[in-house]
């Protein structure tokens, strides 16, 4: 073998190893996004399962505001649908509506001392609040994983391999400013 052939073989080997490392990095990022979404999905499912229990406890108090309960039920359905299709835009909107409805339930519950004293209601409120905090934390991790993925699939030389092997940018899970705002207690009781 000549020196030129050895140098060409070495350069080709280094290029192949570099390409493999880039590809494996992109695969890792893609699976990181999937894992982050799965973590959100678990919490969304848990909350989805807890909400009917909360609504049922509230319904036991006949005069409890049915409109508020209906909005929560409808928002829960929209979250479920968006979660199943992984439509991040629709999920963000539905989550905002659900969060607002839950805030209204908890605020209206203040007017029902018997409901606030109900141990089951208090446990559900605590559980759902804990799940809401977990979802917020997981959403942050998901968006970080998506950001890392999206940067890599657009950067050179990763972009070449990303296009070649159909690695794609993923959508962030975003909520509008109105959906992130705290529920206005004044508006609830005006």
Count: domains in the chain: 1
Q: Is the pLDDT of residue 52 over 50?
A: yes
Q: Is the pLDDT of residue 176 over 70?
A: no
Compute the distance between CA of residue 9 and CA of residue 156 in angstroms, rounded to an integer.
24
Q: Give the domain range for residue 56.
A: 3-189
Helix, strand or coil, per DSSP, at residue 189: helix
Helix, strand, coil share (%) of the chain residues, nearest 5 = 80, 0, 20
Using alpha carbons only, what angle is made at residue 155 by residues 149 and 159, rounded to the nearest 5 degrees? 85
**pLDDT for position 174:** 81
Q: With helix as H, strand as E and coil as C, how does 121-161 read? A: HHHHHHHHHHHHHHHHHHHHHHHHHHHHHHHHHHCCCHHHH
Residue closest to 12 by CA, chosen among 1, 4, 2: 4
CATH classification of the domain holding 184: 1.20.1440.20
pLDDT in tens, 128-170: 999 999 999 999 999 999 999 999 999 999 999 999 999 999 9
């Amino acid at each position: 073998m000549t020196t030129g052939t050895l140098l060409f073989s070495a350069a080709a080997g280094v290029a192949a190893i570099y390409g493999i490392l880039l590809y494996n990095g992109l695969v890792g990022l893609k699976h990181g996004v999937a894992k982050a979404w799965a973590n959100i999905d678990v919490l969304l499912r848990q909350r989805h399962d807890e909400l009917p229990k909360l609504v049922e406890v509230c319904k036991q108090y006949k005069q409890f505001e049915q409109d508020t309960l209906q909005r929560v039920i409808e928002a829960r359905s929209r979250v479920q649908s968006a979660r199943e299709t992984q439509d991040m835009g629709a999920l963000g909107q539905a989550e905002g509506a659900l969060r607002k409805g839950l805030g209204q339930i908890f605020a209206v519950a203040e007017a029902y001392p018997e409901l606030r004293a109900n141990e089951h209601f208090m446990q559900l409120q605590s559980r759902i609040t804990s799940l809401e905090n977990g979802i917020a934390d997981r959403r942050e991790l998901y968006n970080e994983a998506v950001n890392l993925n999206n940067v890599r699939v657009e950067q050179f030389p990763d972009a070449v391999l990303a296009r070649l092997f159909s690695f794609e940018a993923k959508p962030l899970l975003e909520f509008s400013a109105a959906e992130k705002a705290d529920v206005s207690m004044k508006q609830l009781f005006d």
